[in-house]
Structure 1
Amino acid sequence: MSTHSPVTAPADSAAPAPVSAPAPSVHVHSVHVPSVHVRAVITWLAIFPLVAIGLTILGPLTESWHPALRALVLTLVVVPTAVYLAVPKLLAGYGSLKRRQARKAAAKA
């Protein structure tokens, strides 16, 4: 069992003061985050057509496959397509719609 004593600087040595960089100026934009319900609907709007199209295309090709293998192949295509393409496009469209609505409401006020 070893004991270590803490290392301390001698009293007469001056420790350098910590250097802190100036805080960067940050422009905060009001970002509207959709509710979990809106995100669920947007995700469904992305997933449903992709699954329907995928089943239509893969159905005849994978008729004899085990259902788990068909689901695996389908999700290997649908999930990345939805996550990287469809959902971001739908969220951008939703954001654009909300901004347009906010501008119209501000113009009326």
Structure 2
Amino acid sequence: MTSPGITYDAGAPIAAKRGDGRLSGGPQPGPSRVLKECRVEPLTEVQARAVGRLAAHADHGDAVDLAVVEGAARRTDVVVTSDPSDIERTASVVGIELRVVVV
């Protein structure tokens, strides 16, 4: 069994900029250190439609939160965020279980 991946919400690079030790590693400072190890996933039309369906069911309008939940659920990733309430609420409304790490 493979370990889950990680989906970063916008709070993760912000935490790296603050010097949060949970996001340390590599010689580059702050957000560059975190983003260097990331694979940026483009938002395809299929994914955008899934985010739209999620928005309708969750009654939540923040496209970033919705895309984070959709992508993390699809990939079975852990979500790293500085604001877990919207992520957790959005996921729970549609019956998605996500592991959330707060930074």
Q: State the TM-score, normalized to the length of structure 2.
A: 0.29
The higher-RCO structure (CA 8 Å, 6+ apart) is: 2
